[in-house]
A and B are shown apart, each in its own frame.
Chain A
Amino acid sequence: MGIDDADTIFQVVVNEEDQYSIWFADRTLPEGWTADGTTGTKQECLQHIEKVWTDMRPRSVRERVNS
């Protein structure tokens, strides 16, 4: 179940700044991250992220610019 194994299951995670990443599905979430509910192979998770993470500005920057 290595990070580069094709069959390793990951989960899509997101932090307070709305930055996305992936994490091993069977491991506890590191501090500051929440799961967005998507799990799958690395490829599947990354594809999901590519779709949902369209504004890559950190949340704090985005909010300040928008205000």
Chain B
Amino acid sequence: MSQQHELESMTPEEKRALLAQLLDGSAEATPSNLSLEQRRLWLLLQLDDSKPWQVSAAARLTGDVSPAAMQQALTAVVQRHEVLRATFREVDGHPLATTTPAVTLRLPVVETEDLAKVVADEVRTRFDLTKGPLVRASLLKRSDDHVLLLTLHQMVADRRSAKLLVDEVLTKYTELVDGTAGDVIATPVDFHSLVTAQREWVNGDDAAKDVDYWRDQLAAVTALELPTDRPRPPLKTIHGDSVTVEVPLSNVSSDVLLSAYIAVLSRYSQQRDLAVGVPVPASWHEDGANLVGPLENMVPLRVEVSDDDSLERLAAQVGAIHAEALTHARLSFDRIVEAAQPQRDLSRTPLFQVFFAYEEETHELLDLPTTWTPHDIDLYAVRRNGKLTLRAQYNTDLFDQSTIERFLGHVLLVLQADVAQPLAEIPLLTQAERERVVVDWNATDIEYEPATLHQLVEEAAATNPKGIALAGGDEELTYEQLDNRANALAAELVARGITTESRVGVLVDRTVHSVVGLLAVLKAGGAYVPLDPSYPADRLAFIVGDAGIELFVGLRKAIDTLPQEVAGTDRITIPTTDQQAAKPEVSVNTGDLAYVIYTSGSTGRPKGVAVEHRAIVASTKARGTLEGSGLPERYLVLAPLTFDAAGGGLYWTLSRAGTVVFPTESEVLDPRLLGRLIRTRELTHVDGVPSQYAVLLETDLEARDSVKTTVVAGEALPPSLVADHYRVSPNAALYNEYGPTEASVWATVHPVSRQDANLPRVPIGRPVPGAKVYLLDKRFNPVPPGVPGELYIGGDGVARGYVNRAAMTAERFLPNPFGVGRLYRTGDLARYQADGTIEFLGRADTQVKIRGFRIELSEIENVVLRHPLVAEAVVTVREDQPGVPRLIAYVVPVIGRVLTQETLINHVIGQVPDYMVPSTFVTLEKMPLTKHGKVDTKSLPAPEVIIASGFVEPANELEAGIAETFASVLGLQHISATADFFSLGGNSLLVARLAAQLSRENDIELPIDEVFRVPTVQGIARVVETHQRERNDVDSAALYAQQVAELVADVKLDPSIKPDGLPKADWFDPKNVLVTGATGYLGVFIAVELVKRTNATVHCLVRGESADVAWDRLEETMRKYRAWDESYRGRIKVVTGDLAKPYLGLPKEEFDRYCELFDSVYHSGAIVNFTYPYEAMKAANVLGTEELLRLCTRKTLKAFHLVSSVDVFMGTGAERPFTEQDLSMRPVKVPTGYPRTKWVAEHITVIARDRGIPVTVQRPWMITGHTKTGASHDTDYLYVYLRGFLDLGVLPLYNDVINAVPVDYTAEAIVYTSLREENLGKNFNITNREPTTMQQCYQWLRSFGYDLNVVAEEEARRQALEVDEDHILYPLTPLLRVASMRHAALDPELQKQVDPLDECRVLLAALEGSGIECPPVNEAWAHSCFQFLVDNGYLPAPQDVVRQ
């Protein structure tokens, strides 16, 4: 590896990876004159120069000291050891050691009293490896002694070497001072011969054997999990300090010291199999002990501690292990790591995290202050001048000094105990400490009146009868209602024979009625057994039998759906209407059974915890301690009533006359709804499982200001949640509760502070009033602070026991040797902090908690094992994704049989509640075992959740995004688009997270039940689409309203434009008419028609710089369309003006003159462009209309004929038939561009009409060629289109209807109708009663001679969109780009359903008797049109079209 130059180009990540590799010790040696250790260090140095990488040693000298002699001694010693004269540099990518023949090492004399500061300075002062010398020395002169301090770089010396050197210098000094000179010290072997020997050995057989030895020895070694005071940093740190204690014993061997250390480590970690590192002196040469250099090796000693071991026995065992290890200790530590292949973990050192060294010192060496330390704890036992001390160097990021002091105290206790006493029996407490732990920390007695549980509620009801006791969904019950209904039901229960000790199954849900049921049972003197009617029938039947349930109480619906299996049990419905009833006369004692709650049982069957009134009353009374945060005014009970956790908030609130609020099922599932409930009900207390609360904080982002107190319980409270809580709700108190059902809801509580977020685990606090908590070891000895013990609970809340389980009750409810009554053995591990606060550390057995549900893994295992094809089963909790624990079942089938996941799930599903069904079943050939023959749970494979076959890739971006969210929530890599969220390990908590995330990402409100309904990526994608569409609809409605408002805003007419009192012009026999748009296609023919049908002079509004130019344009246009006749010359005049300008761009007096002159106005002028925006045409088309109407209402009242367009329909998405009524003010589609101008103009005309101005609205359809001349509009959309596609050599295949109306008919119709009084105020659609189709048109094109290449519409469109700027189709490309060329209204199928008459009835009636008729279009007409276009050069002649 030539790493040096590569290192410089490495990213920080790559460097970290290489660093990890090197820390694990796998640096391969390459030819170099460095030893293996030097080589490894060299690379480490390149990667991480933040560590000091140096070692110091010091000795204290009393009496007179000669600095000169000391300097001389130092020089001699440095000269003796070649390695001290080495420097290192990189040559060609390789580190190379260079040894200088001589170095001068100065020995400064420093006067100081502050050794710590000197050492700290030493650490800060770094060596330059290329310069050397890599050793520094100083003589510190203190007031009453001297200190010789040597500091060396680790490339040249290890800790042992440093001490050796100090020793040598002092020996030499003594010689010099005493004059006993002579070569007493043998010349050491040369360091480089050692390097060579090392190299040879490493490649030999012995090394290979050692590799095998360590691989075996360290198989599956686990990290030492010492309980730390602070969270372990993810990247290991080296910050250190030390604590030293004297051992008041003589004659204690190093093996005994090490064994005592191991015994205490085992007690602290609760691990029996652990590894401790020990140093190995260099053993390459006979006199290797005198060699200086980085030689010291370390090996792990793996020790198994048994409960029966005495210190004596353990020491013998440790001694043997140590001796054996030393025979394999030539293999360097990095090679051992490589051989053992431990799980890589950058937060810890590999293989061992604690270290032990025993040192005997000849000279009085000084303990220098510790500034850094490599491991979690390094214990140095040092014998010096006959005194033995223990010096523990510890990582200050993990431990407090007090913890280490206590730890050393415990080591001393073990050392001082009888060496033959079993280690587990050595109490680690003094009498005073024991008193504090057992008595002082359990001083929890409180006084209260004994009462029954229902009495507490009855008393509250009496004080606050009208207050709301319960609320849930839409229902509420006052205390009076609750009490009366419960009384009535109780009376009925009594009548049915329910009495003391009778068990009544109450079918509970999340409605207020359930509590009526519970309370009624208590009032009747019986005990309730809360049951979830959705339990599997088997489980329900078991509980009914086990508890001896005599009667069911429930809502009608729940009772009716009870399974067949429990048909034999009687049932009563809970009253849901108000009752008037007195409390039945029943005497209930506080020792009577109040309820039985079933929890997971290890035998495969649930077990019923029997709780007496006195216990739950004590538990409820104890809640007074929480009152600092206010009374429970409105308390949210999140836990189902089948769990005792619900009883805390329920009874506390009901005993204090507050309101208990139950969430609905959907509110429980969807944290956003829950948040809403909290806000609308203004809840003051919220109580739930931490994971539930975490999801609430994560997904419900609005403040919940009403909440004064949040209580979490049921599982470990992650410190991060504490931080989140205080960030979101800085003013709400947070309580962490702990307590099993067997201790009646709670046993300890911790008021959580903000600072607790910085702890590795949030404490569970101290015993609640009336409760006693003992942390005991296996011998029933209380454990001292810091040492884990099993948690036992005594006091008032302890339950009666397990129903029908005498042995189990006797085993778990033990005599209390510290007081009275019984102790419940929880099976939980905990430890005290120094002040008595308790920290929960986990389970001592296989019980787990998932989402607050207490689960015995063995219960599930037993259920799985009942399947006839299952030979072995192990159920574990895996947290492959942090924070998402999942139940995984590992199954070995009976030999030769195959089991599918489906089979197993179906087998389990009917027998355990949903939350106990493993999310994945993994089939194994055999279980992995430890060397002790137990199932090696750590070696169980991670479940392979990707189903190899049937993997469906996401189909689109939406699905891919959703799949990604699924994967991140589930902690998986790939998700099939069809895979079920729940079969992949999803649960209701993860669903909440999923829904929240998907909602955020897709910007929709995704209800949780949708996820339950369609729990696949595909399914959710459909839901998201639907929601987005709906939202779009809402959005578009808003958009539509806004657009319509904008559109309509332009529909306005100057109020001064009105007919009031004006003389009427001659509308029906006009002398002068004005025509606009006469240089357009239709305008030409209107003008001509007016000439023909009237005697009027036809004035045409034409733009032009002069009248002559304007006339020329007009005449030219008329000629072009073969409409000109010389006879028209006198009849037609031009008005040079501009529609787009006020007063038509005419001088005021001229405008006024025209106002007097004209009789009527034909307004066909407009800018016609399908690609221009509305604004570009508004002036001419809209404002021009207003100006003309102004003209019509000046001087005289003139008739106004607006030539509108079929586009007022086409452009507004109007439905066929297009009728001749006024246009709606709310078009289906808001028109844009040209159609919009016509739509607005029409509405303006209607305003004018409604003011009394005589108008007609003429709506031409598709104006096509003249029936006589074929004159066609060369710039018409259709022709441009035709011409363009003919040029491309293709025609798009489509079959729209073409309602072609010859221009002559159109003009005739307009003029004819305009001249009749009865038509004023009417709208006319000028259509063809016999429309044709595009296909027909293509036919005519073919018969005309064009060789057509009809291609798919999409292809034609594609080609059209690629045309160059100068192509005739280019102006149409914006249209083609945004829309299909088809128009829905022109669908031939639709045409069949429309009666063409419906679209032109008014016109046809008006034309009746006129002889004006629309001729059907035919081939001859079409050909004449094509010919016109060819003749005018607008279309290529058929023979000129080259087929491409």
Contact = CB atoms under 8 A, between A and B. Distances in A.
Given A20-B806, A22-B810, A15 B822 contact: yes
Contact of B779 (A3, A15, A32, A47): A3
A21 B804 contact: no
A22 B804 contact: no
A33 to B, nearest CB: 5
A33 B779 CA distance: 19
Nearest to A13: B815
Contact of B814 (A23, A58, A65): A23
A31 B820 contact: yes
B501 A56 contact: no
Interface string A5-23: 1000000110100011111
B810 to A, nearest CB: 5
Contacts of A53: 806, 809-810
Given A21-B810, A33-B815, A60 B591 contact: yes
B801 interface: yes
Nearest to A50: B807
Contacts of B779: 1-3
Given A1-B425, A1-B779, A30 B806 contact: no
A4 B778 contact: yes
B804 to A, nearest CB: 7
B780 interface: yes
A12 B425 CA distance: 22
B858 to A, nearest CB: 15
B405 interface: no
B500 interface: yes
A57 B501 contact: yes
A50 B814 contact: no
B977 to A, nearest CB: 50
Contacts of B820: 31-32
Contacts of B422: 1
Nearest to A57: B501
Contacts of A32: 815, 820-821
Interface SS of chain B: helix, strand, loop or mixed? loop
Contacts of B424: 2
Contact of A19 (B777, B778, B813): B813
Contact of A24 (B780, B806, B821): B780
A25 interface: no
B501 A21 contact: no
B501 A65 contact: yes
Interface in A15-67: 15, 19-24, 27, 29-33, 42, 45-47, 49-50, 53-54, 56-58, 60-61, 64-65
Contact of A29 (B804, B809, B815, B821): B815
A58 B810 contact: no
Contacts of B592: 61
A2 B1284 CA distance: 99
A2 B500 contact: no
Interface in B802-846: 803-804, 806-807, 809-811, 813-817, 819-822
A2 B591 contact: no
A19 B805 CA distance: 12
Nearest to B776: A3
Contacts of A56: 610, 800-801, 803-804, 806, 809
Nearest to A60: B591
Contacts of B307: 2, 5
B589 interface: yes
Interface residues of B, number: 34
B958 to A, nearest CB: 56
Interface in B891-905: none
A57 B596 CA distance: 13
Contacts of A60: 589, 591
Contacts of B813: 19, 21
A21 B307 CA distance: 24
B289 to A, nearest CB: 44
B547 to A, nearest CB: 12
A41 to B, nearest CB: 12
A64 B780 contact: no
A22 B810 CA distance: 6
Of the candidates B589, B592, B807, B809, the one having the most CB atoms from chain A within 10 angstroms of its own CB is: B807
Contacts of B593: 61
A27 B589 CA distance: 35
B500 A61 contact: yes
Contacts of B811: 22, 42, 46
A33 B823 CA distance: 13
A22 B811 CA distance: 7
A23 to B, nearest CB: 5
Given A2-B778, A60-B591, A61-B501, A21 B814 contact: yes
Contacts of A61: 500-501, 589, 591-593
A64 B589 CA distance: 10
Contacts of B610: 56
Nearest to A12: B810
A60 to B, nearest CB: 6
Given A50-B806, A50-B807, A58 B800 contact: yes
A54 B806 contact: yes
Interface in B752-797: 777-780
Interface string B699-710: 000000000000
Nearest to A2: B778
B305 to A, nearest CB: 13
A30 B804 contact: no
A47 B822 CA distance: 20
Nearest to B811: A46
Interface in B300-314: 307
B816 A30 contact: yes
A8 B797 CA distance: 29
A58 B591 contact: yes
Contacts of A57: 501
A23 B810 CA distance: 10
Contacts of B816: 30
A49 B779 CA distance: 22
B806 A22 contact: no
Contacts of A20: 806, 809-810
Nearest to A24: B780
Given A2-B307, A61-B500, A61-B592, A23 B815 contact: yes
Interface string B942-974: 000000000000000000000000000000000
Contacts of B822: 15, 19, 21
A30 B501 contact: no
Contacts of A42: 811
A13 B817 CA distance: 13
Given A24-B780, A50-B807, A53-B810, A65 B500 contact: yes
Nearest to B813: A21
Nearest to A53: B806
A25 to B, nearest CB: 13
A19 to B, nearest CB: 7
Interface in B589-613: 589, 591-593, 610
B442 to A, nearest CB: 15
Nearest to B817: A30
B409 to A, nearest CB: 23
A36 to B, nearest CB: 11
Given A13-B815, A61-B501, 17 more contacts: A2-B777, A3-B779, A3-B780, A15-B815, A20-B806, A23-B814, A29-B815, A31-B819, A32-B821, A33-B815, A45-B810, A50-B806, A53-B806, A56-B610, A56-B800, A56-B801, A65-B500
28 contacts: A1-B422, A2-B307, A2-B424, A3-B779, A4-B778, A5-B307, A5-B778, A13-B815, A19-B801, A20-B809, A20-B810, A22-B810, A23-B815, A29-B815, A30-B815, A31-B819, A32-B820, A46-B807, A47-B807, A49-B806, A54-B806, A56-B801, A56-B804, A58-B800, A61-B501, A64-B500, A64-B589, A65-B501
Top 3 nearest A-B pairs (CB, nearest first) are A2-B778, A53-B806, A46-B807
Interface of B: 307, 422, 424-425, 499-501, 589, 591-593, 610, 777-780, 800-801, 803-804, 806-807, 809-811, 813-817, 819-822
